[in-house]
Amino acid sequence: MGTLGKRSPGRDRGPKRHSPLKALVLTAVTGFALVAGIGAVGDRISRAHNAVKASTPAPTTPAPGPPSAGTSVGVSPDARRVRALLGALREIDPALGAAPGRGEPVGRALASCRDLAEGTDRAEARRRVRARFGETVVTGSRKAERVLTAIERTLCSP
């Protein structure tokens, strides 16, 4: 018999089995590659999201409608109006337009403009003027009415 009748030495064995350590290493490498791939995709998604977010303009809130009664309540008064208000208040009583806190009488006057724009009745508006400007300075309903009229003419008018 020649070489035809002999079997090769590798065919006598059964299927080759891998060691458990080799299987564990192969699983770990495959898992790591999978996690790294997902991380890279997630990174790209995150960068794309940030780019879209940066290019999108911020939402704007609608501007409030004009106040009723034609007043300019929501805006800060210009210097001319402030001077006119303080002068009118000093004419009524020098203590009303006093300079220690120049912003104080203006803020109080703007609050009175808001009252009038919201439709507060005149008697309640006078009561609030007395409370805001001090009842020791604005003594009585007549003086409160004069202050309220001065505020209306200088600050609340359009």
| Residue 124 pLDDT greater than 90, yes or no | yes
The pLDDT assigned to 1 comes to 52
Of residues 13 and 145, more confidence is placed in 145
Find the mean pLDDT for residues 28-54.
Answer: 77
Residue 5: band (very low, low, confident or very high) from pLDDT cuts 50, 70, 90: low
| Residue 99 pLDDT greater than 80, yes or no | no
Summarize pLDDT for 134-146 with one digit per residue, the tens: 877 788 889 889 9
| DSSP codes, the chain | --GGGPPPGGGSS------HHHHHHHHHHHHHHHHHHHHHHHHHHHHHHHHHHHHSPPP-PPPPPPPGGG---SSPPPHHHHHHHHHHHHHH-TTTT-STTTHHHHHHHHHHHHHHHTT--HHHHHHHHHHHH-TTTS-SHHHHHHHHHHHIIIII--
Enter the pTM of the model.
Answer: 0.50
Q: How far is CA 30 from CA 25, 27, 42, in A?
A: 9, 5, 18
Q: Poorest-confidence range of 63-67, 127-131, 136-140?
A: 63-67
The overall average pLDDT reported for the chain is 76
The pLDDT assigned to 68 comes to 41
Find the mean pLDDT for residues 92-117.
Answer: 79
The pLDDT assigned to 33 comes to 79
| Residue 94 pLDDT greater than 90, yes or no | no
